[in-house]
Amino acid sequence: MKTTAITNTFNKLAFKVKKHSPELLAAAGVIGIVTSAVTACKATLKAGEVLENAKEQLDLIDGANEKITDETYSEQDYKKDIAITYTQTVVKFVRLYGPSVILGTASIGCVLMSNNILRKRNAALAAAYTAVFTDYKGYRSRVVERFGKDLDRELKFNIKNEEIEETITDKKGKEKKVKKTVETIDEADLHSEYAKFFDSSCFSYEKDSEYNLMFLKNQESYANDLLKAKGYLYLNTVYKALGLPETKAGQVVGWIYDPENPVGDNYVDFGIHKVRNKRSVNGLESVFLLDFNVDGNIWNLM
């Protein structure tokens, strides 16, 4: 029992190390590169002494070659001493800079290994996300085909019909209260990563509902023109045009336009739907629900 507990603890520790290996390798690489640079600087301070000793040794050899006769110090001996001096100097430089080079190389290897692990993990995550997104989109298309787009939207965002009372002005200028049924949505039910509310928090929102609808339709048309012109379009580009906050997902998710080999719908649809949002403290706020028909992670699709 005790052995099993120790094994489990060791396995958990090994898993955590493997999980954080990119961060650990990157940190080790950075520390190693800095240490390598410091070591190289220290070695450079000693390099001058090595060069000076080598110069003195070469001067002695040249002096001996000029003064000593060929019988005692031949040309072959002279060349041999020169070669030995150069070899010894190279060895000293290797000893000086060797540790820095080895440490620097190992550090760069750690950084590259960290990047390689992250790249493989990102590829695996992207593949998993693509599979899930494809299955989900296929499921929704089957729901729409069988039950219609309205029911699909109602189920996805938990849209409900509620009866409200509003004050209107009739043709004679008299105010009266009338009851009407409206579609409402609680912001807590907006679980989609991409769907957004176009409401008073957006800089281009106006109190005139017809103006807002016209603005959204024009932006949708412009987004389609941009998609056809560039061949791709990021969701963040659309968010920015509508005055919505950009997201991390919006940096990689979007649309691709390819008439020959379509990977998605080949067009941008904002999924514009007018609802009442329950988040307003003044009651039900009239907003537009935008459910974008993105193709998924376009980095993997292109």
Across 49-53, 172-176, 216-220, the highest mean pLDDT is recorded for 216-220
Q: Judge contact between 21 and 15, C-beta under 8 A.
A: no
The pLDDT assigned to 137 comes to: 76
At residue 199, does pLDDT exceed 80? yes
The per-residue pLDDT for 149 is 81
pLDDT at 239: 93
Is residue 262 within 8 A of residue 301, CB to CB? The reply is no
Q: Output the pLDDT for position 238.
A: 94
Query: Structure tokens of 263?
Result: 């990977």
Q: Is there a contact between 96 and 47 (Cβ–Cβ < 8 Å)?
A: yes
Strand order in the sheet with 296-297: 232-234, 253-256, 296-297
pLDDT value at 237 more than 90: yes
Window from 9-13, 67-71, 205-209, 234-238 with minimum mean pLDDT: 67-71
* Tens-digit pLDDT profile for residues 92-149: 888 878 888 888 888 888 888 888 888 887 777 777 767 777 777 777 788 788 888 8
Please state whether the predicted TM-score (pTM) of the whole model is above 0.75: no
Contact assessment for residue 257 and residue 228, using Cβ atoms and an 8 Å cutoff: yes
Which whole number is the average pLDDT over 198-224? Answer: 90
Question: What average pLDDT does the chain have?
Answer: 80
Using pLDDT thresholds of 50, 70 and 90, give the confidence band for residue 168.
low
For residues 168 and 281, what is the distance between their CA atoms, to the nearest angstrom? 21
The whole-number average pLDDT for the span 266-285 is 77
Span 21-80, pLDDT tens digits: 788 888 888 888 888 888 888 888 777 787 888 787 777 777 666 666 556 666 777 778
pLDDT at 229: 92
Of residues 247 and 284, the one with the higher pLDDT is: 247
d(CA 166, CA 146): 35
Q: Which range among 110-114, 187-191, 225-229, 293-297 has the greatest average pLDDT?
A: 225-229
Q: Where are the domains of the chain?
A: 2-125, 190-301
Query: Three-state secondary structure along the chain?
Result: CHHHHHHHHHHHHHHHHHHCHHHHHHHHHHHHHHHHHHHHHHHHHHHHHHHHHHHHHHHHHHHHHHHCCCCCCCHHHHHHHHHHHHHHHHHHHHHHHHHHHHHHHHHHHHHHHHHHHHHHHHHHHHHHHHHHHHHHHHHHHHHHHHHCHHHHHHHHHCCEEEEEEEEEECCCCCEEEEEEEEEEECHHHCCCCCCEEECCCCCCCCCCHHHHHHHHHHHHHHHHHHHHHHCEEEHHHHHHHHCCCCCCHHHCEEEECCCCCCCCCCCCCCCCEEEEECCCCCCCEEEEEECCCCCEEHHHHC
pLDDT > 90: percent of the chain: 13
Q: Contacts from 230-233 at CB under 8 Å and sequence distance 24+?
A: 230/257, 231/256, 231/257, 231/258, 232/256, 232/257, 232/298, 232/302, 233/257, 233/268
Average pLDDT over residues 221-226: 94
pLDDT for 269 beyond 70: yes
What pLDDT, on a 0 to 100 scale, did the predictor assign at position 281?
47
